[in-house]
Chain A
Amino acid sequence: MSGSDTLRHRMVSGLLAGLLGGWVYGSFGSPHPWFGPAHHLFLNAGIGIGFGLFLGKLVTTAGSGLLWGEAYALIWWIVGPLTFFPFLLGNPPGWTVEAARSAFPMLLGYLVGYGTVLGLVYSYLSALFAGSWRARVLRQLTADFLFAVAIGGVAGLVGGLAFGAWMERVGIFPLIAGLVRSESADVGRTLHFIISVVIGASYGVLFRGDIQGIGSSIAWGLAYGFTWWVLGPLTIMPLWLGLGVQWSLAAGQAAFPSLVGHLIYGTLLGLVYSAVDRLWRVLFVESDPLKREPEGPGTRSLRAVGMGILASLAGGLAFTVVMVKTDALPVVASLIGRSSPTTGFVVHMVISAIIGATYGLLFRREAYTYGAGLAWGLVYGLVWWFLGPLTLMPILLGAEVQWSLASALGAYPSLIGHLAYGSATALAYQLLVMRYDPALRKGSRSVRTHLRRTSGTPAAALWVVVLMLGLMLPLLLTD
C-alpha cells in the first residue's frame, strides 16, 4: 500500500470517527454555546481529520485508540473551551479555575465524544480500511484472545470485589438493581459483578497488545477506571434510566466516591491482569531455555527491589517535607499505635521503602529515559494517593475508607506529596539503573532493547490522561 493511500485512509477514518464522536457529544452534551450547527460539522470534521493525521500512526490497537483519543480530547478541552473559544469571542479569560469549572460538562463530553468514541471508532475504521479487519477478527478468535478475555474477567472480578465492598457498605446495590427495574440488593450485587467481569474482559481485549509490565498495566487500569467512571455512572447508566447524561459539575461532585471506587477497581484490574499474564509468561514462555534471559527472573527482580528501596530514600525524604508541614507524622505513627513524630518518620520511611521496592519490581523495565521514568513515577505516586491516605490507611486505622470529596480535598496536599515522592523515587531509580548498566547511558541499541520500550504503546497518552485528570479533577470539583 502506498503512503498516500494510508494517509487518505487515516483522514477518512478520522473524518468519519470525528463526525460520529461529534454527534455523540452534540446530542448529549451541552453544545458549544458559541457555534451553530454548520460550525459544528466543520469542527467535528476537523477534529477527526486532525486525529487521523497527527495520531493515526500511533493507533495500532483499540486500546491505543482509546487512550490517544482521551489524551486528544483533553488537549482540545484546554485549547478550545479554556483558551481559544473565549478568546475568539472576547469573553473573560478561561485559565481560571472558575472558568474551568464551568467548562466541566464539556470536559466530560469531550472525553466521551472526542475521546472514547472517536478513538475507538477510529481504531476499528482504520483497521477496516487497511484491510486487516478480517485478519484481525480471525486473529482475535485465537487462544491468545480467549486467554485475555478469561484473565481479564478474573481480574475484573477481583477489582469488583474491592469496589463492591464499599458499595455494600453505602447501600448502593438497590440503586444498581434499578437498571433492571428491581430494588433488590441481591440483583444489584449480581449485576455489579457481571459488569465488573465484562469490563475486566474488555480490558483484556483492548489492551492485551500493549501490556508489557505490571507497572504500566496498573496505569492502564487506572485510566480505564477513569473512563468507566465517565461512561458508567455519569453517562450510560443515567441514559439507560432515561435521565439523560449527568455531566454537570454537581453530578461529578456527587459521584466522587464512585470515582475513587472505579480507580481502585482499575488499579486492581490492571494489577491482577498483568500479574497473571506475567506469571504465565514466566512459567510457560520465558522458561523456554531458548528464550530465557541470561539472568533468570529471580536475580533481576531482587536487584530491582534493592534499587527501588535505595531510590525510595530520595522520594521518602521529599515527602517528609509535607508531612512535617501538615503535621501528618503523628498520624502515620498511629499506624503502629504510637504518636511521636520521630516514630512517624521511621514508619513513613519504612512504608516508603516498601512502596519503592514495589516501584522497582513493577516498573522494572518500563522506562528507558529519565523522562519516562519520571512520568511513571508520577503515575505511581497518584495510584498510592488513592490507595494510601484514602483507602488503606483509614482501613488500617480501623475506620471507613475516605472516598468522599471532602476528605479527598482535605488530603490534597498529600496528593502533591505522593507525586513528589513518585517522581523523586523514579528519577533516583532510573539513575541507579543507568549506573548499573552504563551502556544504557550511551543509548546503545542492543542494550536498549533489553529494557522494554514504552514507545509503540500509548504510554505517553496514558501519562497525559492519568496525570491531568488526577491533578485537575479534585481542583475542578471543589466548591
Chain B
Amino acid sequence: MRRLRASRIVLGIIAGLSAGLVNAGLLAVLTGPRAMGVLSGAEEPATGLVIHLILSALSGITYAWLFNPIPDSDAEGLASGLAYGLLWWMILSLNLIPIVLGEGPQWEVEAVASAFPALVGYLFQGAIVGLGYPILYDIVTHWLGPLDEPVEGPQPLAVQHKIVILGGGFAGVTVAQHLERLFAGDESVVMTLISNTNHLLFTPMLSEVTAGGVEAQHISTPLRAFFRWTQVIRGEAKAVDFERRVVKLEVNGPASHAEVSFDHLVLGVGAVTNFFGLPGAEAHAFTFKSLEDANLLRNHVIEMLERADAEQDSERRKALVTFVVAGGGFAGAELVGGLNDFVRGSLWFYPNIPPEEVSLILVHSGERIMPELSFDLADYAHERLKGRGVAFKLSTRLANAVPGAVLLSNGETIRTETLVWTAGNMPHPLIRRMGLDGDAGGAVTTDATLRVTGRPNVWAIGDCAAVPDSYTGKRCPPTAQHAVRQAATLAHNIHAVIRGRKTRQFSYRSLGSFAVLGHQTACAEIRGVKFSGLLAWWLWRAIYLVKLPTLEKKVRVTLDWTVDLFFPRDIVQTTTSHRSTRGVEALARVDARR
C-alpha cells in the first residue's frame, strides 16, 4: 500500500515536471522571455521557471490522485488531461497568480482573454500529463509488477479481532452499526451479530399494530438490511464458554448446534416477560413483546368480536368482549388505549354487539398508572382513557387466571377470554445462566465503560444490563432510548480498546418519556416540560417516525397512518389457528404435558 502510494507520487511528479517543461518551452518559443512571468507571476525568469516547475510537479501528483484508477485508454487519458489543464489554468492564471500579485481574482472577460496564451499552454501541459502519467504507470507496472493489490481472487484474511454481538434489538443493532462505521474498511476486524429473531422490532409502535393502525411488517426491519460487513446469524445463544471464548448456539432448532468464537463479546439479549410465578397467567395470558405477540393478540381480538357477534347469550357475549390488560406501565397503558380504539372503532362492523357490553380493563398494582410520569400527566392519562371507555382496577393485583376468567387480589372475578400480561419484565435468563456478576433482578452489572464486572472482553448494554446512571446513581431504566446511547459508547470503547486509545464513560441524561393513549391523545414529559393531548400526539408521531429505522419503513408507516385517517380499521384475520379460545388452548396444553 505504501509502496503503491509512493510510486504514484513519484510517477505523478515525473509526468508533471515533463509536462511543465514542454509547456514552458513552447510558451517561451511562442511568446518570448515573458513566458515565465505568464506562468508563475515572477519577474525573474529563473525564479519563474522554478516556481512553475514546482507547481507542475504538484499538478502531476494531483492528477495521480484525481484519476485513480487510471483511465482505460490513452485517448481518455489525453481528454481527461485536457479538462484537467483547463481547471489548472483557471486555478493558477485566473486566481492564484493574480492574487499573489495583489490584483485579486481575474474573472472579467478582458482579463481572461489576456490569459489566453497560458490557457493554450496549460492545455498542452494537461494533455501531456494525461497521456504521460498512464503510460509511465503502465511501464512501471510492467517492470515492477502490479502496484495495486490483486483485486480478484480470494485474499488471505488476516483476522485479528472477532467481535460477537448477542441480540438483535436496539442495543445489538446500534452497536454493530457504530462498529461498522468505526472500523470501516478494516478487514482485520470481523463482526458477527447473533439473534433469534431476524428483525429489529420498533417496540414503541407495537401497540399500533395490535390496534390495526400500522402493518406489523412496517415497524420491523430485517437485521440483514442494516449492515454491509457484519455477518448476521439467526440462532439462539444457549451458553458462553468464557475460557475458550466461544458462544454456543442452536441454529436450526434444538438439534443443530454451532459455536462462534470471539475476542470481544457484547451482550444485548434484552428482557423477557416475568410472570412472578403466577402459573395461571403464564398459561393463559398473552404477552406483549414481539411482533408475533402483537399479531396473535390482534387476530384473537377479531376472533372474539366475530364470536360475540354470533353469540345469543348476553353473559357469554359480555365475556367475549371483555379485555383485561394486567400492568399499568407504559406498555400496558399504550396497549389498552390502542385496543380500546380498535375494539370500539370496529363495532360498526358488528351490529349484534351492544356497545355497552364491551369493556376494557386495566389492572394495575400501583395507585396510579404510569409511575414513570409525573403525577398530573399520569392523572391526565387516566382521565383520558377513562373518558374513552377504559375501566381501571388500581391498587389491585392479578391473583390467578383460569380459562374463561381472571381473579383479582381484591377477590373479584372477571369473566373474560382475553388477558394480556405487561406487568413484569426481567433480564433474559441466559444472563443468569452465564454466571456473571448480576444485580438482584438478574441483570448483569457493568462499570461506567459498559464492561461486565470482572470480564475485560465482555460488554453488556440494554435491558439485560445494569448500567450505572451517572445522573441518578441508580441503574439506567430499561428503555430503547438508553439502549441506543449505551450502544454508541460501547462501540466507541471497543474501538478504543482495539486501537489502544482511551475509553469513555457512559453518561446520558434521559430526554423524558412519551406515551400514546389512543386516537390523537398522548402525554409527554421532555426534560421536565409537560405536553399532553394533540400536540403531544403529533410530537410523538414526528419523533418516533424519525427514529424508526430505514427510510422505507418510515414511508410505509406514514402511508399506513394516512390511510388510517380516511378508511375504517382493517379487521382481516390473518390466522385463526392459534388461541382462538383460551379454553380449547388450555386443554390442548394439558394434553401435551401428559
Contacts and interface: CB of A to CB of B under 8 A. Distances in A.
B112 interface: yes
A325 B116 CA distance: 22
B80 A375 contact: yes
A78 B112 contact: no
Nearest to B32: A93
A289 to B, nearest CB: 15
A132 interface: no
Interface in B45-86: 63, 65-69, 71-76, 78-80, 82-84, 86
Given A83-B30, A94-B30, A416 B71 contact: no
A461 B79 contact: yes
Interface in A398-432: 409-410, 412-413, 416-417, 419-420, 423
Nearest to B107: A413
Contacts of B72: 455-456
A97 B74 contact: no
Given A302-B551, A374-B66, A95 B116 contact: yes
A420 B152 contact: no
Interface stretch (B117-125, B138-146, B164-172): B117-125
Given A75-B82, A96-B116, A375-B83, A325 B104 contact: yes
B50 to A, nearest CB: 22
Contacts of A463: 79-80, 82-83
Given A54-B74, A97-B116, A412 B552 contact: no
Given A463-B83, A478-B113, A54 B75 contact: yes
Nearest to A408: B109
Assign chain A's interface to a size class.
Answer: 35 or more
Interface string B367-395: 00000000000000000000000000000
A340 B64 CA distance: 44
A372 interface: yes
Contact of A441 (B78, B110, B148, B185): B185
B26 A83 contact: yes
B116 A374 contact: no
A57 interface: yes
B127 to A, nearest CB: 8
A299 B552 CA distance: 7
A416 B107 contact: yes
Contacts, number: 149
A82 B120 contact: yes
A2 interface: no
Contacts of B151: 443-445
A68 interface: yes
B29 interface: yes
Which secondary structure dominates where chain B touches chain A? Answer: helix
A71 B127 CA distance: 12
A351 interface: no
A228 interface: no
B66 A371 contact: yes
B109 A478 contact: yes
A375 B63 CA distance: 12
Contacts of A464: 79, 82-83
B112 A468 contact: no
Nearest to A379: B83
A325 B98 CA distance: 14
B75 A416 contact: no
A369 B133 CA distance: 15
A100 B94 contact: no
A410 B109 CA distance: 7
Interface in A301-349: 302, 321-322, 325-326
Nearest to B183: A438
A439 B29 CA distance: 47
Interface in A75-130: 75, 78, 82-83, 87, 93-97, 100
B31 A93 contact: yes
A474 interface: yes
A291 interface: no
Interface of B: 26-27, 29-31, 63, 65-69, 71-76, 78-80, 82-84, 86-87, 90, 94, 104-105, 107-110, 112-114, 116-117, 119-121, 123-124, 127, 148-149, 151-152, 184-185, 225, 550-552, 555
Given A412-B109, A416-B107, 6 more contacts: A371-B63, A371-B67, A416-B112, A444-B151, A461-B75, A468-B123
16 contacts: A58-B75, A87-B29, A93-B30, A95-B120, A322-B107, A325-B104, A325-B107, A375-B83, A416-B112, A441-B185, A455-B71, A460-B75, A460-B83, A467-B82, A467-B83, A468-B86
The 6 closest A-B pairs by CB, nearest first: A371-B66, A460-B79, A413-B107, A93-B30, A438-B185, A412-B109
